[in-house]
Protein backbone atom coordinates (compact mmCIF):
# COMPACT_ATOMS: atom_id res chain seq x y z
CA UNK A 1 0.00 0.00 0.00
CA UNK A 2 2.94 2.33 0.55
CA UNK A 3 3.92 3.99 -2.72
CA UNK A 4 7.62 3.15 -3.03
CA UNK A 5 10.08 5.37 -4.90
CA UNK A 6 13.69 4.28 -5.35
CA UNK A 7 16.51 6.75 -5.73
CA UNK A 8 17.62 7.05 -9.33
CA UNK A 9 14.35 5.75 -10.73
CA UNK A 10 11.64 7.77 -12.48
CA UNK A 11 9.31 9.71 -10.22
CA UNK A 12 11.59 9.84 -7.16
CA UNK A 13 12.54 13.52 -7.32
CA UNK A 14 9.15 14.63 -8.62
CA UNK A 15 7.29 12.89 -5.79
CA UNK A 16 9.66 14.31 -3.20
CA UNK A 17 9.19 17.82 -4.57
CA UNK A 18 5.42 17.40 -4.55
CA UNK A 19 5.35 16.17 -0.95
CA UNK A 20 7.58 19.05 0.13
CA UNK A 21 4.70 21.33 -0.94
CA UNK A 22 2.00 19.35 0.91
CA UNK A 23 1.41 22.29 3.27
CA UNK A 24 -0.19 24.39 0.52
CA UNK A 25 -3.58 23.87 2.17
CA UNK A 26 -6.65 24.44 0.06
CA UNK A 27 -8.47 26.53 2.66
CA UNK A 28 -10.18 28.63 -0.02
CA UNK A 29 -12.77 25.92 -0.66
CA UNK A 30 -14.24 26.38 2.83
CA UNK A 31 -13.50 30.10 3.23
CA UNK A 32 -16.95 31.38 2.16
CA UNK A 33 -18.70 29.14 4.69
CA UNK A 34 -16.21 30.04 7.43
CA UNK A 35 -16.61 33.77 6.76
CA UNK A 36 -20.36 33.36 7.10
CA UNK A 37 -19.91 31.58 10.44
CA UNK A 38 -17.49 34.17 11.80
CA UNK A 39 -19.74 37.04 10.74
CA UNK A 40 -22.71 35.42 12.47
CA UNK A 41 -20.76 34.99 15.70
CA UNK A 42 -19.35 38.53 15.57
CA UNK A 43 -22.79 40.05 15.02
CA UNK A 44 -25.08 37.78 17.06
CA UNK A 45 -22.83 36.26 19.72
CA UNK A 46 -24.25 33.48 21.87
CA UNK A 47 -27.39 33.19 19.75
CA UNK A 48 -25.29 32.38 16.69
CA UNK A 49 -23.19 29.88 18.66
CA UNK A 50 -26.34 28.05 19.77
CA UNK A 51 -27.81 28.00 16.25
CA UNK A 52 -24.56 26.77 14.69
CA UNK A 53 -24.12 24.07 17.31
CA UNK A 54 -27.65 22.84 16.60
CA UNK A 55 -26.95 22.95 12.87
CA UNK A 56 -23.58 21.21 12.82
CA UNK A 57 -23.73 18.98 15.92
CA UNK A 58 -27.49 18.39 16.23
CA UNK A 59 -27.60 19.27 19.91
CA UNK A 60 -28.86 22.04 22.15
CA UNK A 61 -26.45 23.76 24.53
CA UNK A 62 -27.43 24.60 28.07
CA UNK A 63 -24.58 27.10 28.34
CA UNK A 64 -22.08 28.54 25.86
CA UNK A 65 -19.72 29.44 28.69
CA UNK A 66 -19.98 26.47 31.02
CA UNK A 67 -20.23 27.40 34.72
CA UNK A 68 -17.01 26.49 36.50
CA UNK A 69 -18.78 24.40 39.08
CA UNK A 70 -20.40 22.37 36.30
CA UNK A 71 -17.26 21.50 34.34
CA UNK A 72 -15.35 20.75 37.52
CA UNK A 73 -18.17 18.41 38.54
CA UNK A 74 -17.91 16.69 35.15
CA UNK A 75 -14.20 16.22 35.82
CA UNK A 76 -15.01 14.41 39.06
CA UNK A 77 -16.87 11.79 37.02
CA UNK A 78 -13.59 10.84 35.29
CA UNK A 79 -12.21 7.57 36.69
CA UNK A 80 -9.57 8.11 39.36
CA UNK A 81 -6.88 6.17 37.50
CA UNK A 82 -7.41 8.31 34.38
CA UNK A 83 -7.14 11.50 36.44
CA UNK A 84 -3.90 10.22 37.94
CA UNK A 85 -2.45 9.58 34.48
CA UNK A 86 -3.50 13.03 33.28
CA UNK A 87 -1.93 14.63 36.35
CA UNK A 88 1.31 12.70 35.85
CA UNK A 89 1.49 13.76 32.20
CA UNK A 90 0.70 17.39 33.09
CA UNK A 91 3.54 17.44 35.62
CA UNK A 92 6.05 16.16 33.04
CA UNK A 93 4.84 18.74 30.50
CA UNK A 94 5.06 21.46 33.15
CA UNK A 95 8.65 20.56 34.11
CA UNK A 96 9.77 20.66 30.49
CA UNK A 97 8.20 24.04 29.80
CA UNK A 98 9.64 25.61 32.95
CA UNK A 99 12.96 25.55 31.05
CA UNK A 100 11.47 27.83 28.37
CA UNK A 101 10.77 30.77 30.67
CA UNK A 102 12.33 34.04 29.49
CA UNK A 103 13.27 36.47 32.29
CA UNK A 104 14.03 39.33 29.90
CA UNK A 105 17.25 41.36 30.13
CA UNK A 106 18.65 44.82 30.80
CA UNK A 107 22.05 46.47 30.32
CA UNK A 108 23.57 49.96 30.26
CA UNK A 109 26.16 51.40 27.91
CA UNK A 110 27.33 55.03 27.69
CA UNK A 111 24.39 56.33 29.68
CA UNK A 112 21.74 54.43 27.69
CA UNK A 113 19.83 51.71 29.52
CA UNK A 114 18.26 49.11 27.23
CA UNK A 115 16.31 45.99 27.93
CA UNK A 116 13.38 43.75 27.24
CA UNK A 117 10.42 43.15 29.53
CA UNK A 118 8.57 39.84 29.19
CA UNK A 119 4.95 39.47 30.27
CA UNK A 120 2.26 36.85 29.57
CA UNK A 121 -0.71 37.67 27.36
CA UNK A 122 -3.82 38.52 29.35
CA UNK A 123 -5.94 35.71 27.94
CA UNK A 124 -5.30 32.65 25.77
CA UNK A 125 -7.83 30.48 23.98
CA UNK A 126 -6.89 26.81 23.62
CA UNK A 127 -8.84 24.66 21.17
CA UNK A 128 -9.23 20.90 21.56
CA UNK A 129 -10.83 19.03 18.63
CA UNK A 130 -13.80 16.75 19.08
CA UNK A 131 -14.29 15.13 15.69
CA UNK A 132 -13.14 11.57 14.99
CA UNK A 133 -11.57 11.27 18.46
CA UNK A 134 -11.34 13.09 21.79
CA UNK A 135 -7.99 14.56 22.79
CA UNK A 136 -7.53 15.33 26.49
CA UNK A 137 -3.81 15.24 25.71
CA UNK A 138 -4.26 18.34 23.52
CA UNK A 139 -5.76 20.19 26.48
CA UNK A 140 -2.60 19.40 28.45
CA UNK A 141 -0.26 20.25 25.59
CA UNK A 142 -1.82 23.69 24.99
CA UNK A 143 -2.96 24.85 28.43
CA UNK A 144 0.06 23.77 30.49
CA UNK A 145 2.57 25.93 28.54
CA UNK A 146 0.14 28.85 28.89
CA UNK A 147 -0.08 28.28 32.63
CA UNK A 148 3.71 28.08 32.94
CA UNK A 149 3.94 31.38 31.05
CA UNK A 150 1.66 32.91 33.70
CA UNK A 151 -1.41 33.58 31.54
CA UNK A 152 -4.19 34.54 34.00
CA UNK A 153 -7.13 33.51 31.75
CA UNK A 154 -6.90 30.21 29.89
CA UNK A 155 -10.10 29.54 27.97
CA UNK A 156 -10.69 26.04 26.60
CA UNK A 157 -13.07 25.72 23.64
CA UNK A 158 -14.18 22.22 22.74
CA UNK A 159 -17.40 20.50 21.69
CA UNK A 160 -19.11 18.09 24.07
CA UNK A 161 -17.21 18.34 27.35
CA UNK A 162 -16.47 14.78 28.46
CA UNK A 163 -15.14 13.76 31.89
CA UNK A 164 -11.69 13.16 30.40
CA UNK A 165 -11.57 16.58 28.74
CA UNK A 166 -12.81 18.30 31.91
CA UNK A 167 -10.29 16.42 34.07
CA UNK A 168 -7.48 17.47 31.74
CA UNK A 169 -8.70 21.08 31.98
CA UNK A 170 -8.50 20.93 35.78
CA UNK A 171 -4.94 19.63 35.96
CA UNK A 172 -3.74 21.88 33.10
CA UNK A 173 -4.82 25.14 34.72
CA UNK A 174 -7.78 26.04 32.49
CA UNK A 175 -9.89 28.83 34.00
CA UNK A 176 -12.92 28.85 31.64
CA UNK A 177 -14.60 26.35 29.33
CA UNK A 178 -16.59 27.22 26.19
CA UNK A 179 -18.96 24.54 24.92
CA UNK A 180 -18.40 25.06 21.20
CA UNK A 181 -16.37 23.56 18.39
CA UNK A 182 -15.41 24.36 14.82
CA UNK A 183 -15.15 27.79 13.26
CA UNK A 184 -17.83 29.14 15.61
CA UNK A 185 -15.60 28.39 18.62
CA UNK A 186 -12.75 30.32 17.02
CA UNK A 187 -15.14 33.21 16.39
CA UNK A 188 -16.26 33.24 20.03
CA UNK A 189 -12.66 33.32 21.26
CA UNK A 190 -11.59 36.00 18.78
CA UNK A 191 -14.56 38.39 18.92
CA UNK A 192 -16.19 37.56 22.23
CA UNK A 193 -19.91 37.05 22.88
CA UNK A 194 -22.33 38.00 25.65
CA UNK A 195 -20.94 35.21 27.83
CA UNK A 196 -17.42 34.71 26.42
CA UNK A 197 -14.82 37.43 26.85
CA UNK A 198 -12.43 37.65 23.90
CA UNK A 199 -8.86 36.38 24.19
CA UNK A 200 -5.53 37.68 22.91
CA UNK A 201 -4.20 34.48 21.33
CA UNK A 202 -5.73 31.26 20.01
CA UNK A 203 -3.75 28.01 19.83
CA UNK A 204 -4.44 24.38 19.13
CA UNK A 205 -5.13 22.05 16.18
CA UNK A 206 -8.41 21.47 14.39
CA UNK A 207 -10.01 20.52 11.09
CA UNK A 208 -9.93 22.57 7.89
CA UNK A 209 -12.76 24.82 9.15
CA UNK A 210 -10.86 25.59 12.34
CA UNK A 211 -7.65 26.20 10.39
CA UNK A 212 -9.41 28.57 8.00
CA UNK A 213 -11.12 30.41 10.87
CA UNK A 214 -7.80 30.89 12.66
CA UNK A 215 -6.27 32.34 9.51
CA UNK A 216 -9.21 34.74 9.04
CA UNK A 217 -9.17 36.06 12.64
CA UNK A 218 -5.39 36.54 12.67
CA UNK A 219 -4.79 40.21 13.33
CA UNK A 220 -7.86 40.48 15.53
CA UNK A 221 -6.01 38.01 17.73
CA UNK A 222 -2.70 36.21 17.40
CA UNK A 223 -2.60 32.52 16.51
CA UNK A 224 0.02 29.81 16.82
CA UNK A 225 -0.12 28.34 13.31
CA UNK A 226 -2.36 26.94 10.58
CA UNK A 227 -2.34 23.25 11.42
CA UNK A 228 -2.73 20.67 8.69
CA UNK A 229 -3.09 16.88 8.82
CA UNK A 230 -0.86 14.99 11.22
CA UNK A 231 2.26 13.37 9.79
CA UNK A 232 5.20 11.18 10.67
CA UNK A 233 8.43 10.61 8.77
CA UNK A 234 10.33 7.52 9.87
CA UNK A 235 13.95 7.27 8.74
CA UNK A 236 15.07 3.68 9.25
CA UNK A 237 18.29 1.84 8.52
CA UNK A 238 18.57 -1.91 8.05
CA UNK A 239 19.20 -2.35 11.79
CA UNK A 240 15.70 -1.19 12.66
CA UNK A 241 12.82 -3.55 13.44
CA UNK A 242 10.41 -3.41 10.46
CA UNK A 243 7.45 -4.28 12.69
CA UNK A 244 8.23 -1.37 15.03
CA UNK A 245 8.57 0.95 12.04
CA UNK A 246 5.19 -0.21 10.74
CA UNK A 247 3.64 0.46 14.15
CA UNK A 248 5.09 3.99 14.15
CA UNK A 249 3.66 4.72 10.71
CA UNK A 250 0.20 3.56 11.78
CA UNK A 251 0.35 5.66 14.96
CA UNK A 252 -0.21 8.68 12.71
CA UNK A 253 -2.27 7.00 9.98
CA UNK A 254 -5.02 6.21 12.49
CA UNK A 255 -5.55 9.92 13.27
CA UNK A 256 -7.53 10.62 10.12
CA UNK A 257 -7.73 9.80 6.43
CA UNK A 258 -5.61 12.81 5.46
CA UNK A 259 -2.65 11.96 7.73
CA UNK A 260 0.77 11.37 6.16
CA UNK A 261 2.66 8.16 7.07
CA UNK A 262 6.06 8.65 5.37
CA UNK A 263 9.10 6.39 5.35
CA UNK A 264 12.72 6.72 4.24
CA UNK A 265 14.83 3.55 4.13
CA UNK A 266 18.30 2.65 3.01
CA UNK A 267 17.34 -0.52 1.08
CA UNK A 268 14.40 -1.79 -0.95
CA UNK A 269 14.51 -5.10 0.95
CA UNK A 270 13.83 -3.31 4.23
CA UNK A 271 11.05 -1.27 2.63
CA UNK A 272 9.37 -4.51 1.53
CA UNK A 273 9.61 -5.91 5.06
CA UNK A 274 7.94 -2.80 6.49
CA UNK A 275 5.17 -3.00 3.89
CA UNK A 276 4.41 -6.61 4.88
CA UNK A 277 4.33 -5.77 8.59
CA UNK A 278 2.13 -2.77 7.84
CA UNK A 279 -0.45 -4.95 6.09
CA UNK A 280 -0.46 -7.41 9.00
CA UNK A 281 -0.97 -4.68 11.61
CA UNK A 282 -3.64 -2.92 9.58
CA UNK A 283 -5.76 -6.07 9.47
CA UNK A 284 -6.05 -6.05 13.28
CA UNK A 285 -6.38 -2.30 13.88
CA UNK A 286 -9.61 -1.02 15.42
CA UNK A 287 -9.41 2.15 13.30
CA UNK A 288 -8.56 0.08 10.22
CA UNK A 289 -10.76 2.02 7.78
CA UNK A 290 -9.22 5.39 8.70
CA UNK A 291 -5.65 4.13 8.74
CA UNK A 292 -6.06 2.22 5.47
CA UNK A 293 -7.35 5.33 3.71
CA UNK A 294 -4.45 7.37 5.10
CA UNK A 295 -1.85 4.86 3.88
CA UNK A 296 -3.46 4.48 0.46
CA UNK A 297 -3.82 8.24 -0.01
CA UNK A 298 -0.67 9.65 1.58
CA UNK A 299 1.64 6.73 2.39
CA UNK A 300 5.03 7.04 0.68
CA UNK A 301 8.38 5.32 1.00
CA UNK A 302 11.66 6.67 -0.38
CA UNK A 303 14.48 4.18 -0.79
CA UNK A 304 17.43 6.52 -0.37
CA UNK A 305 20.37 4.13 -0.67
CA UNK A 306 22.54 5.82 1.98
CA UNK A 307 22.36 7.99 5.08
CA UNK A 308 23.31 11.21 3.31
CA UNK A 309 20.41 10.92 0.88
CA UNK A 310 18.06 9.90 3.69
CA UNK A 311 18.99 13.11 5.52
CA UNK A 312 18.41 15.16 2.35
CA UNK A 313 14.94 13.68 1.92
CA UNK A 314 14.06 14.25 5.58
CA UNK A 315 15.25 17.86 5.42
CA UNK A 316 13.19 18.51 2.29
CA UNK A 317 10.04 17.09 3.89
CA UNK A 318 10.48 19.05 7.18
CA UNK A 319 8.09 16.70 8.95
CA UNK A 320 5.95 17.37 12.00
CA UNK A 321 7.21 14.16 13.66
CA UNK A 322 10.65 12.89 12.62
CA UNK A 323 11.47 9.41 13.94
CA UNK A 324 15.10 8.42 13.43
CA UNK A 325 15.11 4.63 13.82
CA UNK A 326 18.82 4.45 13.07
CA UNK A 327 22.10 3.90 14.87
CA UNK A 328 23.80 7.17 15.90
CA UNK A 329 20.56 9.09 15.46
CA UNK A 330 21.97 12.35 16.85
CA UNK A 331 24.68 12.36 14.20
CA UNK A 332 22.10 11.95 11.43
CA UNK A 333 19.95 14.72 12.94
CA UNK A 334 22.86 17.13 12.50
CA UNK A 335 22.31 16.84 8.74
CA UNK A 336 18.56 17.48 8.97
CA UNK A 337 17.76 21.14 9.45
CA UNK A 338 13.97 21.10 9.75
CA UNK A 339 11.64 18.99 11.89
CA UNK A 340 8.91 19.72 14.41
CA UNK A 341 10.00 17.11 16.94
CA UNK A 342 12.76 14.53 16.58
CA UNK A 343 12.38 11.07 18.14
CA UNK A 344 15.87 9.65 18.42
CA UNK A 345 16.89 6.01 18.34
CA UNK A 346 15.16 2.67 18.24
CA UNK A 347 13.40 2.93 21.61
CA UNK A 348 11.62 6.29 21.25
CA UNK A 349 8.03 6.08 19.94
CA UNK A 350 6.31 9.14 18.59
CA UNK A 351 3.45 8.30 20.97
CA UNK A 352 5.70 9.31 23.88
CA UNK A 353 5.74 12.84 22.50
CA UNK A 354 1.97 12.79 22.05
CA UNK A 355 1.30 12.12 25.70
CA UNK A 356 3.91 12.50 28.39
CA UNK A 357 7.51 12.99 27.27
CA UNK A 358 7.27 16.72 28.04
CA UNK A 359 7.42 18.91 24.91
CA UNK A 360 4.08 20.09 23.52
CA UNK A 361 2.70 17.88 20.78
CA UNK A 362 1.33 20.93 18.95
CA UNK A 363 3.87 21.05 16.12
CA UNK A 364 4.30 22.67 12.70
CA UNK A 365 2.83 20.54 9.90
CA UNK A 366 3.01 20.44 6.13
CA UNK A 367 6.67 21.43 5.95
CA UNK A 368 6.17 24.51 8.16
CA UNK A 369 8.99 23.26 10.41
CA UNK A 370 11.25 25.10 7.94
CA UNK A 371 10.15 28.36 9.60
CA UNK A 372 7.98 27.48 12.63
CA UNK A 373 8.51 25.88 16.03
CA UNK A 374 6.61 23.67 18.48
CA UNK A 375 4.08 25.37 20.75
CA UNK A 376 5.75 26.59 23.92
CA UNK A 377 5.85 29.17 26.70
CA UNK A 378 7.22 31.70 24.19
CA UNK A 379 3.87 31.57 22.34
CA UNK A 380 2.07 33.06 25.33
CA UNK A 381 4.28 36.05 26.09
CA UNK A 382 4.66 39.57 24.77
CA UNK A 383 7.90 41.52 24.84
CA UNK A 384 8.32 45.23 25.50
CA UNK A 385 11.52 47.04 24.52
CA UNK A 386 12.89 49.26 27.31
CA UNK A 387 14.86 52.43 26.50
CA UNK A 388 16.15 55.08 28.93
CA UNK A 389 18.62 57.89 28.04
CA UNK A 390 20.51 59.97 30.55
CA UNK A 391 21.01 63.69 29.89
CA UNK A 392 24.64 63.02 28.97
CA UNK A 393 23.66 60.19 26.59
CA UNK A 394 21.13 62.26 24.63
CA UNK A 395 23.70 65.04 24.22
CA UNK A 396 26.30 62.52 23.06
CA UNK A 397 23.97 61.00 20.43
CA UNK A 398 22.19 64.19 19.39
CA UNK A 399 24.20 64.70 16.19
CA UNK A 400 23.62 61.10 15.14
CA UNK A 401 19.89 61.15 15.86
CA UNK A 402 19.25 64.59 14.37
CA UNK A 403 21.31 63.74 11.31
CA UNK A 404 19.33 60.58 10.60
CA UNK A 405 16.03 62.41 11.11
CA UNK A 406 17.06 65.15 8.70
CA UNK A 407 18.20 62.50 6.21
CA UNK A 408 14.61 61.24 6.12
CA UNK A 409 13.12 64.73 6.02
CA UNK A 410 11.41 64.39 9.40
CA UNK A 411 11.99 67.80 10.97
CA UNK A 412 9.89 67.25 14.10
CA UNK A 413 11.89 64.12 14.89
CA UNK A 414 15.08 66.16 14.86
CA UNK A 415 13.47 68.90 16.96
CA UNK A 416 12.40 66.35 19.59
CA UNK A 417 16.10 65.49 20.02
CA UNK A 418 17.31 69.10 19.82
CA UNK A 419 14.82 70.25 22.45
CA UNK A 420 16.39 67.84 24.94
CA UNK A 421 19.96 68.76 24.00
CA UNK A 422 19.19 72.47 24.53
CA UNK A 423 17.90 71.74 28.05
Query: Is residue 246 within 8 Å of 68, Cβ to Cβ?
Result: no
320 classed as catalytic:
yes
321 classed as catalytic:
yes
The helix or strand, by DSSP H or E, that contains position 102, with its residue range, turns out to be none
Helices within 129-259 (DSSP H only): 136-149, 163-172, 182-191, 208-217, 242-253
* Distant-in-sequence, close-in-space partners of 22: CB < 8 Å, separation ≥ 6: 228, 260, 366, 367
Catalytic residue among 5, 97, 255, 321, which?
A: 321
Q: Which residues are bridge partners to 117 per DSSP?
A: 384
Give dist(CA 199, CA 223) in Å, integer.
Answer: 11
Query: Is residue 303 within 8 Å of 268, Cβ to Cβ?
Result: yes
Which one, of 42, 84, 327, 311, lies nearest residue 196 by Cα? 42
Catalytic residue among 164, 320, 350, 402, which?
A: 320
Sign of CA pseudo-dihedral 411, 417, 418, 423: positive
Query: Is residue 325 within 8 Å of 248, Cβ to Cβ?
Result: yes
Question: Which sequence positions are flagged as catalytic?
Answer: 320-321
Amino acid sequence: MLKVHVRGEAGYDETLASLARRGDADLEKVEPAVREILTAVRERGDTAIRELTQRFEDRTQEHVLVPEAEWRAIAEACPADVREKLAAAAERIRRYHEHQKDPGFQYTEEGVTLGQRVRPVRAAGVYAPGGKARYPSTVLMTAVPAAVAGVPRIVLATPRITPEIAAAAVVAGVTEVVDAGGAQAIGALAYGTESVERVDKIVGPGNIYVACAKRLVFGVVDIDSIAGPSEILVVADDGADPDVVAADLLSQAEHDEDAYPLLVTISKAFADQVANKLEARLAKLSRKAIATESVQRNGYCFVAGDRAEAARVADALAAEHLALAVDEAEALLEDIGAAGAAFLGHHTPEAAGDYAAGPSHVLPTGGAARHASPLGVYDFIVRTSLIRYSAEAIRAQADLLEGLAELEGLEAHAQAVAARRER
